[in-house]
């Protein structure tokens, strides 16, 4: 049988393979180029969005120059208005430079910052530390006009101020709901850093609810990495709709922007603005409690399911809290239907209500939930936080105590207080770690009153079975609870 051998021409196959490889090689850079173009397009769109916001909001952002005549007390920097040169008040709050050692009988001091118009007829929101106590306030508008402003009201406790210029149909910034703001969202700051008017910077929301910074009594700051410098004080922090979510107020750092700027949230600022506009000052509600945050040990001791809520460590006599039936040891879970997550939050929220407002609270007492209603008092002037034997050593606790006699109580300023007073604290002990110092008065152990050293020792011995002791203490005008570990030996 004849076998026919068919020869296949290899050239076409090699041609097809080469064409495929060439296509792949060509397609790869085209795909990468396409992705680059898409990224560039996205960046262009973002840039256009920022430009649109700046164009919309910048006309409503103003420069502020506040003057104050002060009498020297030997050091010119004793006033927050700084020295004889034009300085922003951030110099006072955050640089803390050495005082200048020269005297003047009387001097004019100047602070420069920012603000933003919030109504067409010229109401302007800014910071108290910028215009508070000023003898003259001038406002520079977009376009170069300068007008005198009237100080409508200031609130040092939130660092918010309202001023007004004469005008109508003025550009203004709308409010946004700062509660809806989320960490990671883009925000834009506009202001006059170092006197450079209408400077626009962008960043994200780094955190919310920042407190205990030391700028104001009531703090609930938005933290942002948008560049904020000396002079941005009082300017708006804007969302991508061009609405104000906050007032730029403070920076954290030795001087200038380090990526940590703080803004008063718009929801707080709006409440203060309304009160200042209506009455020129802020009158706050007052509950009359000393409160503290919960930790896991505290939560377990007071029957709370977790650390959510706020522990009441003391109740002011004849206060709204006492009349409502609140007691030391109660854990506040909700205020007016909304959860309470920290002592700072509860304090801020109560202060936003007017006196005589009735508020409903959900509490936990001895492990059981209960609802109570309190009619708020007016917050008193001054500091509202407080209403009001032989030496024995407790080695386990790392402290020594003695009975708080009547004479000793008077000497220490603890009139009508019963308990034991701490006379010595071991360094690095559990007591020292919890902030107990000589002079601290221990009033209760595990919710039982202790009136002398004998009762205190008996209560500690009883608490050893649980391996810890819950102490109710008083120190420097504050009453609070602490949990100290104990061994069974």
CATH number of residue 419's parent domain: 2.30.42.10
Q: Would residue 30 count as lying in a domain?
A: no
Active-site pick, 77, 129, 155, 342? 129
Q: Would residue 36 count as lying in a domain?
A: no
Q: Are residues 58 and 162 in the same domain?
A: yes
Q: Would residue 136 count as lying in a domain?
A: yes
Active-site pick, 197, 233, 266, 400? 233
Cα-based distances in Å from 293 to 22, 233, 342, 345: 68, 31, 6, 10
Q: 86 pLDDT exceeds 90?
A: no
pLDDT at 84: 36
pLDDT at 400: 84
Residues 111-121 have pLDDT tens digits of 899 999 999 99
Active-site pick, 58, 77, 114, 159? 159
pLDDT at 96: 40
Q: Would residue 15 count as lying in a domain?
A: no
Q: Are residues 226 and 357 in the same domain?
A: no
Count the neighbouring beta carbons within 10 Å of the beta carbon of residue 427: 6
Q: Are residues 294 and 269 in the same domain?
A: no
Could you tell me the end-to-end alpha-carbon distance of the chain, in angstroms, rounded to an integer?
A: 107
Asked about 233 being catalytic, the answer comes back as: yes
Q: How confident is the model at residue 74 (pLDDT cuts 50, 70, 90)?
A: very low
Q: Would residue 324 count as lying in a domain?
A: yes
Q: Are residues 277 and 183 in the same domain?
A: yes
CA–CA separation, 50 vs 42, rounded Å? 12
Cα-based distances in Å from 84 to 135, 230, 332, 474: 16, 17, 49, 45
Residues 280-329 have pLDDT tens digits of 889 999 999 888 888 888 888 787 777 788 999 888 888 999 999 999 88
Most confident of 40-44, 100-104, 378-382: 40-44
Q: Are residues 208 and 354 in the same domain?
A: no
Count the neighbouring beta carbons within 10 Å of the beta carbon of residue 162: 27
Q: Which of 282, 299, 317 is the last residue of a domain?
A: 282
More confident residue, 258 or 175: 175
Q: Are residues 435 and 300 in the same domain?
A: no
Domain carrying residue 405: 391-485
Q: Would residue 10 count as lying in a domain?
A: no
Q: Would residue 9 count as lying in a domain?
A: no
Q: 16 pLDDT exceeds 70?
A: no
CA–CA separation, 475 vs 452, rounded Å? 17
Asked about 129 being catalytic, the answer comes back as: yes
Q: Are residues 293 and 220 in the same domain?
A: no
Q: Are residues 316 and 229 in the same domain?
A: no
Q: Are residues 309 and 254 in the same domain?
A: no
Q: Which of 330, 356, 378 is the last residue of a domain?
A: 378
The lowest-confidence range among 69-83, 169-183, 343-357 is 69-83
Q: Would residue 439 count as lying in a domain?
A: yes
- Give all strands (DSSP E) within 266-309, no chain letters: 285-286, 289-293
Q: Are residues 201 and 151 in the same domain?
A: yes
Counted domains in the chain: 3
CA–CA separation, 247 vs 83, rounded Å? 25
Residues 119-165 have pLDDT tens digits of 999 999 999 999 998 999 999 998 889 999 999 999 999 999 999 99
The lowest-confidence range among 29-38, 184-193, 395-404, 455-464 is 29-38
Q: Are residues 347 and 470 in the same domain?
A: no
With CA atoms as reference, report the closest residue to 320 among 383, 388, 379: 379
Mean predicted lDDT score pLDDT of the chain: 82
Asked about 198 being catalytic, the answer comes back as: no
CATH assignment of the domain containing 121: 2.40.10.120
Q: Which of 357, 378, 399 is the last residue of a domain?
A: 378
Cα-based distances in Å from 418 to 326, 402, 458: 21, 11, 16
Cβ contact 271:232 at 8 Å: no
Q: Are residues 218 and 346 in the same domain?
A: no
């Amino acid at each position: 049988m004849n076998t026919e051998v068919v020869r296949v021409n290899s050239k076409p196959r090699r041609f097809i393979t080469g064409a495929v490889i060439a296509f792949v090689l060509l397609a790869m850079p085209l795909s990468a180029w396409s992705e680059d173009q898409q990224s560039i397009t996205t960046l262009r769109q973002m840039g256009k969005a920022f430009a649109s916001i700046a164009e919309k909001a910048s006309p409503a952002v103003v420069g502020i120059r506040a003057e104050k005549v002060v009498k020297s007390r030997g050091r010119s920097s004793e006033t927050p208005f700084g020295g004889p040169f034009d300085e922003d008040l951030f110099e006072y709050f955050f640089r803390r430079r050495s005082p200048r050692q020269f005297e003047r009988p009387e001097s004019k001091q100047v602070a420069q910052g920012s603000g933003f118009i919030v109504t067409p007829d010229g109401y302007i929101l800014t910071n108290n530390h910028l215009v508070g106590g000023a003898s003259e306030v001038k406002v520079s508008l977009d376009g170069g006009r300068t007008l005198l402003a009237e100080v409508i009201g200031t609130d040092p406790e939130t660092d918010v101020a309202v001023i007004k210029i004469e005008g109508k149909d003025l550009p203004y910034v709308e409010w946004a709901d700062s509660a809806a703001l989320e960490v990671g969202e883009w925000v834009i700051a506009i202001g006059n850093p170092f006197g450079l008017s209408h400077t626009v910077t962008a960043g994200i929301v780094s955190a919310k609810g920042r407190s205990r910074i030391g700028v104001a009594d009531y703090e609930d700051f938005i933290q942002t990495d948008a560049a904020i410098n000396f002079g941005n004080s009082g300017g708006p922090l804007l969302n991508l709709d061009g609405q104000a979510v906050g007032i730029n107020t403070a920076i954290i750092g030795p001087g200038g922007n380090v990526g940590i700027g703080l803004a008063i949230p718009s929801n707080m600022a709006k409440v203060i603005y309304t009160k200042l506009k209506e009455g020129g000052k802020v009158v706050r509600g007052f509950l009359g409690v000393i409160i503290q945050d919960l930790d896991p040990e505290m939560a377990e001791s007071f029957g709370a399911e977790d650390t959510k809520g706020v522990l009441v460590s003391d109740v002011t006599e004849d206060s709204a809290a006492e009349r409502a039936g609140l007691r030391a040891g109660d854990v506040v879970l909700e205020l007016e239907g909304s959860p309470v997550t920290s002592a700072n939050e509860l304090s801020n929220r109560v202060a936003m209500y007017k006196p005589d407002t009735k508020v409903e609270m959900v509490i936990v007492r001895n492990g059981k939930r209960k609802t109570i209603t309190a009619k708020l008092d007016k917050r008193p002037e001054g500091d509202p936080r407080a209403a009001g034997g032989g030496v024995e050593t407790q080695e386990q606790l790392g402290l020594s105590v003695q009975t708080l006699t009547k004479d000793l109580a008077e000497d220490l300023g603890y009139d009508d207080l019963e308990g034991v007073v701490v006379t010595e604290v071991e360094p690095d002990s559990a007591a020292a770690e919890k902030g107990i110092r000589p002079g601290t008065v221990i009033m209760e152990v595990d919710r039982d009153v202790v009136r002398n050293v004998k009762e205190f020792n008996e209560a500690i011995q009883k608490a050893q079975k649980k391996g810890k002791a819950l102490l109710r203490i008083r120190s420097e005008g504050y009453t609070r609870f602490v949990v100290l570990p104990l061994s069974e030996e």
